[in-house]
Structure 1
Amino acid sequence: MKKLFTALALLAATAAHADNPRPDIIAYDTDQSFEDVVFGLENTILDAGLVVDHISHTGEMLARTKEDVGGTMDLFLQADVYSFCSAQVSREVMEDDPLNLVFCPYDIFVMVRADTPDTTTIGFRTYPEGAMKKVETMLDDIARAAIGLD
């Protein structure tokens, strides 16, 4: 039964990824709660031997400052960005090109948009061709594992 659920979840996530209107972002939608996705993400990062450097509570900041900056709508119910690095992968990509330093640390976001309250999205930005695709693969593995698509 778990394999069937995983296969169906993978199919749904793959379809969502294929229809992505933003080719600079890879994102997966799930009906799991924000808390469950964050729990899965934190555990997956730790299980990979990585350490979260920073959690940006972007959703809270935007809600708190909405009126101060003339905002008129709620964007997110919840939105956090997790920043972390991998010494191994970072060394590999920076030995290829030291200017790849600009991409470190790496970020994965988790959000629930105000207009789609029953959907949690996890994702990350895409990276340029070449060595940085190693980072993109690592982030994709982490994001997928966090929501049970590994």
Structure 2
Amino acid sequence: MKPFLTLTLTAALLATPALADNHAMQETDHAITYAFEGDFDDATFAVETAIVGKGLVIDYVSHTGAMLERTKADVGSDVKIYDAADIFLFCSAQISREVMEADPMNISFCPYGIFVTDKDGEVRVGYSKYPEGDMQKVQALLDEIAQEAVAN
């Protein structure tokens, strides 16, 4: 059983960079995104499907792009930031419990979010980066969901 587990884990680790290369991963100090081959509506559907497919419930979808566009004149701007941008907010009872039992202040990171943006026809799926330690469990979940969404 042990050689099988080692082979399985090795295959999974080798497959992850290949997927990232195929979907143009970009990383900043605070976020990781993947290029989505398709339009914004297909990307939001893929993200929703990936989240629900993990047995998670989407608590709220923030239509951030629409809000920014609707309020730009009110704040003295004429800049269109996104053609569209949504953020899907959700939690995982299992992982949230694990990270909050380790440090109750990890509540500050909940709910978790996956965002989809469309800027000048480039659609991206991404999430915020989390600190080292227990919150890497959440980041791994978010990365899994984002990569699943861009692969579909």
TM-score (norm 1): 0.85
Q: Identity over the aligned pairs, expressed in percent? A: 44
Supply the distance in 1 between the matched residues of 2:142 and 2:149 (Cα, whole angstroms): 10
Instruction: Please tell me whether residue 25 in structure 1 is matched to residue 35 in structure 2.
Output: no
CA distance in 2, matches of 1:64, 1:103: 28
In the other structure, the counterpart of 1:12 is 22
Distance 1:91 1:8, change over 3 A: closer
Supply the distance in 1 between the matched residues of 2:134 and 2:35 (Cα, whole angstroms): 27
Cα deviations across residues 42-77 of structure 1 (Å, max 9, x unaligned)? 111111000000111001111111111111211111
Q: TM-score, normalised to structure 2's length?
A: 0.84
Count of aligned positions: 136
Q: Which runs of 5 or more residues in structure 2 are unaligned?
A: 1-16
Offset, 1:128: 0.6
Which residue among 88, 99, 102 is the counterpart of 2:105? 99
Identify, as 1 or 2, the structure richer in helix: 2
Partners of 2:18 and 2:106 in 1: how far apart? Answer: 36
Amino acid at match of 1:16: M
Work out whether 1:38 is the aligned partner of 2:39.
Answer: no
Residue 132 (structure 1) aligned with residue 135 (structure 2): yes
Question: Cα offset for 1:24?
Answer: 1.4
Moved over 6 A (4+): none
Unaligned runs of 5+ in 1: 1-6
